[in-house]
């Protein structure tokens, strides 16, 4: 067979990216959990026979995408490549050999073409419930956090392991939902496999060796060119965040060297007693993501483009937790990894990286049940509802931060309608939060207000998963800090930023999610932008006068014109 040309290889590379994107979109369309269908908390990818990732879908989160890059090698080792056969499907939610906590199911499927093993498809999705204490930080070991599924066969040459299915169903609160998600994961891998076979048939390929070498060689070369074009140097970054009971310090040293960038997390806080610890695979995922965004954002993710970024951390630090540490909310700490890296990178590559943002997602899960303080109506029922929400992202050197937009996770905020459809929950308020974006030459992105309650006849527990209560996002280059997180009952009773908390019948939880920090001095902000922000309600009259030196008369004029419908 004639060796494909460079142009043909490039076409096949783009085709592979399209294949895995279709794989991901199939998962979005067929998943049962709102975390997948509405928020896109997933990943999908294709691998060669050595377990090296060749392409990953654009749809997905860095925590899944980059962590899953290492997962297939564990499946190969645990299952044994020589035992793999057509019709097999493998499964795990191992936090250390998957994507960081038990609430992520990873499915791996070997791909065969004309009877020959040619590679793997893999996908991951966040599921709403895996049993145990539920999705939250309250556990003190991974054993309390839910059902553990070791790397094993889910389908053996076309036959589903019914024993495994019965065990899963018996240990979770939403068995139909979880089993439906597992089948959706397996199906999306099969769709990827079918599209791969179509591509191989079209181009007359017997295996993926040639295209794999093309992808990995060019990705490695391009990434090293970007790294080696930078001035070598070393800098430290540090961040203090809320933690669970006590603050957590993240500390990193970033070294730009020949052919690699090292991030070393020596000096970071040790393990926490509660479930906010982070397996190294997840720390690596977000550290790599931060560097890729800053240095090589246009080079697709694969094994070779990620390899030059080396990540080290002390064993049993909070960013290198090992079994049996509780890790359910590993995302809360993990989502602050990029901003910590950027605190160091800003010293090495000034005027490149953004100010700090909200960081972790502003997620919460409500466990609803019939009220117990009085007779419950017949329609009252138990339900688990998880909702993904975001604060503001940090301002960038040349652009404002994005409002209520998740960085670094990249997941979408769930619509109110989808959340309320998932159970007897009511979202009473969801709107942008004025003045929460830090002032600066570029303004930080706004957080949001969100109030949640239950339908009549229900009480609930809320699992809070918030940070930035005591340590709001810090401005860069003279920019102001973003607004902090707040959470309380509607009667004024303060609530904790993390952990399971009871909400009586009729009460509402009122939350304000954090804003991103500003970049540069507020005095340098363009006056037209200040007027536009005031007219749009992004800042209040008081903030326009206090932070941006607008006169009271000018502020009143802008507000009056905005009420008349004038465009700014």
pLDDT digits (tens, 9 = 90+) for 199-255: 999 999 999 999 999 999 999 999 999 999 999 999 999 999 999 999 999 999 999
Q: What is the pLDDT of residues 139-154, one digit of tens each?
A: 999 999 999 999 999 9
Residue 567 burial (C-beta neighbours within 10 Å; 0-12, 13-18, 19+) = exposed
Output helix, strand, coil percentages for the chain, rounded to the nearest 5.
35, 20, 45
Q: How would DSSP label each residue in 272-334? A: -SSS----HHHHHHHHHHHHHHHH-TTSPPSHHHHTTEEEE--TTBTTS--TTS--TTHHHHH
- Tens-digit pLDDT profile for residues 48-95: 999 999 999 999 899 888 888 899 999 999 999 999 999 999 999 999
Question: What percent of the chain is modeled with pLDDT above 90?
Answer: 95
pLDDT on residue 141: 97
What is the average pLDDT across 290-317? 96
Q: Locate the domains of the chain by residue range.
A: 6-220, 354-525
Identify the residue with better confidence: 3 or 187: 187
Q: What is the average pLDDT across 493-506?
A: 97
Residue 66 has a pLDDT of: 86
Residue 339 has pLDDT above 60, yes or no: yes
Mean pLDDT of the chain: 96
> What predicted TM-score, i.e. pTM, was given to this entire model?
0.96
pLDDT tens across 377-413, in order? 999 999 999 999 999 999 999 999 999 999 999 999 8
Confidence grade of residue 3 (pLDDT, cut at 50, 70, 90): confident
Q: Is 315 exposed, middle or buried (0-12, 13-18, 19+ CB in 10 A)?
A: exposed
Question: Tokens 């067979």, residue?
Answer: 1
**Number of residues in the chain:** 568
Question: Does pLDDT of 308 surpass 70?
Answer: yes
Residue 1, pLDDT score? 54
Higher pLDDT, 163 or 37: 163
In this predicted model, what pLDDT tens digit does every residue of 106-159 receive, in sequence order?
999 999 999 999 999 999 999 999 999 999 999 999 999 999 999 999 999 999
Burial 393-429 (b: 16+ CB within 10 A, else e): bbbbbeebbbbbbbbbbbbebbebeebbebbbbebee
Pairing mode, strands 260-264 and 309-312: parallel
């Amino acid at each position: 067979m004639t060796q494909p040309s460079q142009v043909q290889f490039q076409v096949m590379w783009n085709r592979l990216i399209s294949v895995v994107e279709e794989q991901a979109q199939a998962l979005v369309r067929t998943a049962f959990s709102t975390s997948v269908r509405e928020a896109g908390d997933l990943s999908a990818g294709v691998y060669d026979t050595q377990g090296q990732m060749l392409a990953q879908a654009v749809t997905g989160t860095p925590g899944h995408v980059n962590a899953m890059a290492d997962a297939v090698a564990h499946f190969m080792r645990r299952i044994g490549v020589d035992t793999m056969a057509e019709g097999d499907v493998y499964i795990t939610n191992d936090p250390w050999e998957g994507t960081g906590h038990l609430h992520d199911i990873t499915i791996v499927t070997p791909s065969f073409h004309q009877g020959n093993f040619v590679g793997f498809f893999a996908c991951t999705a966040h599921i709403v419930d895996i049993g145990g204490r539920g999705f939250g930080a309250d556990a003190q070991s991974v054993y309390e956090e839910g059902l553990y599924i070791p790397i094993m066969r889910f389908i053996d040459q076309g036959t589903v392991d019914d024993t495994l299915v019965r065990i899963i169903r018996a240990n979770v609160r939403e068995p139909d939902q979880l089993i439906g998600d597992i089948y959706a994961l397996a199906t999306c891998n099969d769709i990827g496999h079918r599209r791969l076979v179509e591509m191989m048939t079209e181009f007359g390929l017997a295996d993926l060796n040639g295209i794999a070498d093309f992808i990995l060689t060019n990705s490695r070369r391009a990434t090293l060119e970007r790294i080696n074009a930078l001035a070598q140097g070393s800098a430290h970054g540090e961040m203090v965040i809320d933690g669970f009971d006590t603050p957590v310090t993240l500390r990193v040293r970033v070294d730009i060297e020949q052919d690699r960038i090292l991030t070393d997390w020596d000096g970071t806080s040790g393990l926490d007693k509660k479930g906010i610890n982070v397996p190294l695979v997840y720390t690596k995922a977000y550290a790599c993501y931060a560097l890729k965004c800053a240095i090589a954002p246009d080079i697709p993710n694969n094994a070779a483009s990620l390899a030059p970024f080396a990540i080290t951390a002390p064993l049993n630090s909070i960013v290198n937790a090992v079994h049996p540490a509780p890790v359910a909310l590993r995302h809360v700490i993990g989502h602050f990894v990029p901003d910590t890296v950027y605190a160091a990178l800003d010293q090495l590559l000034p005027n490149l990286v953004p100010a700090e943002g909200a960081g972790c997602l502003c997620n919460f899960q409500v466990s609803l049940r019939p009220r117990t303080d009085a007779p419950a109506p017949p329609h009252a029922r138990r339900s688990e509802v998880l909702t993904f929400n975001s604060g503001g992202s940090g301002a960038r050197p040349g652009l404002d931060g994005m409002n209520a937009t998740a960085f670094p996770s990249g997941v979408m905020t769930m619509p109110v309608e989808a959340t309320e459809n998932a159970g007897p929950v009511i979202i009473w308020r969801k709107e942008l939060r004025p003045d929460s974006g830090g002032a600066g030459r570029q303004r930080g992105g706004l957080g949001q207000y969100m109030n949640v309650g239950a339908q009549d006849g229900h009480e609930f527990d809320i699992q809070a998963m918030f940070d930035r209560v005591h340590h709001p996002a810090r401005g860069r280059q003279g920019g102001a800090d973003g607004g902090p997180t707040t959470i309380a009952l509607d009667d004024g009773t303060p609530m904790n930023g993390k952990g399971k908390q009871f909400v009586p019948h009729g009460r509402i939880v009122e939350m304000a999610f954090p804003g991103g920090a500003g970049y540069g001095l507020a005095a340098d902000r363009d006056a037209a932008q200040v007027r536009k922000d005031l007219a749009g309600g992004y800042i209040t009259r008081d903030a326009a006068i206090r932070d941006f030196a607008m006169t009271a008369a000018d502020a009143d004029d802008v507000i009056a014109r905005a009420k008349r419908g004038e465009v700014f």
